Amino acid sequence: MKLKQKGLVCSVALACAVAGQAKADNVTISGVIDVNVESLATTKEKLTRVSSGGLSQSRLEFSGVEDLGDGNQAYFLHQMQFAADTGVGPTPRETYVGIRGNWGALSLGRQNTPSYWIVGYADPGWSGDYSRVSNSEYFYAPWRENNAVAYSTPVINGFKGRFMATTGAETPDHNGRVYSTGVEYRNGPLYLGYVTDRKDIKNLYTPNLESSRDNYVAAVYRLGGFEPTFIYHTYNGYYAYPPYVGFQTKGWDVQLGARWKITEIHSTYISAVHRHDDVGKDLSNGDSILLGYSYHFSKRTDAYINYGRVFTKGSPKVPYPLTFNYSGSGNPERGTQIGLRHSF
């Protein structure tokens, strides 16, 4: 028992020393804790549980910036995601180091793809647990990748370019290699974006290296506190989640949504996706919707309620999920979350 107590004291002392050093070196420690009470229903069961990530995935972040002179900066970010309802984790999120200046920004490490930033801006659900963009449109497409080199241009006449290439796995065939190229445009209340992703991945059942292509067009227009959003997405190729499932398909989907900041305290959002699969073998056509409301106690603390529903046609091999955060029987088709999020 004494050894355990000494170990705990040493750990606390070390954490304090690290925190003190972090403050001296201009390192910021931040994050999000998001927990909700949730009711889920599948074709096989209903349950009520405590869950995590209704508005934002719970995470701990370490970041820092150093001034290099001549308008240049070095920066880094390390994020660790965890389940706030159980404390399980952490799992890797983004971890990268970079340098930036009036010539743009160059970064290396595990990073979000350009499509995440361009399409994500038009997602009223902001990648929350029920996000229809994350769960229906991205689905098995690239989003956050390891071993990545990314470059973003400076803004010129409202235009900004984003580029990423990854080396994939440390194998001769570079299994999992991704290329992502995008351009976005901002002019007053108008936002437009286009991005194309290609991913090379090994077939789960043969030695062949397959590829997929995803193209996205995003648009947002601000009318005071009201912002309608639009995303159109096409997909074609081989998609896999090793070692569980892999399939060849193609199709398209469209998202229409809006977010409305009614007052400084009240805001609401809606996102609806229709997906059309041209093959209809492993996937199928489907519709889904997210409705949400947030009450802002402060800039850091929000209470919220989300309602999500997925309508899947037929009995596809891989149904579109309401949430990926589920390991019970069947596929969640509808759910309600009442939760609290605090950022620090």
Q: Please report whether residue 17 resides in a domain.
A: no
The confidence score (pLDDT) of residue 21 equals 42
pLDDT, tens digit, 9 for 90 and up, residues 229-240: 999 999 999 999
Q: Please report whether residue 204 resides in a domain.
A: yes
Q: Please report whether residue 20 resides in a domain.
A: no
User: Quick count: other Cβ atoms within 10 Å of Cβ 189?
Assistant: 11
The confidence score (pLDDT) of residue 25 equals 58
Percent of the chain with pLDDT over 90: 78
Q: Output the domain CATH number for residue 74.
A: 2.40.160.10
Which pTM was predicted? 0.89
Q: How far apart are CA 53 and CA 35, in angstroms?
A: 6
Count of domains forming the chain? 1
Contact of 147 with 167, CB cutoff 8 Å? yes
Q: Please report whether residue 328 resides in a domain.
A: yes
Q: Which residue matches tokens 């199709």?
A: 251
The confidence score (pLDDT) of residue 20 equals 43
Q: How far apart are CA 120 and CA 225, in angstroms?
A: 18
Strand (E) or helix (H) holding 92: strand 91-101
pLDDT, tens digit, 9 for 90 and up, residues 294-306: 999 999 999 999 9
Q: Please report whether residue 13 resides in a domain.
A: no
The confidence score (pLDDT) of residue 23 equals 44
pLDDT, tens digit, 9 for 90 and up, residues 126-158: 889 999 999 999 988 989 999 999 999 999 999
User: What average pLDDT does this structure show over 88-113?
Assistant: 96
pLDDT, tens digit, 9 for 90 and up, residues 193-216: 999 999 999 999 998 999 999 999
Q: Please report whether residue 18 resides in a domain.
A: no
- Domain residues for the domain of 118 are 29-343
Q: Please report whether residue 294 resides in a domain.
A: yes
Q: Please report whether residue 16 resides in a domain.
A: no
Percent of the chain with pLDDT over 70: 93
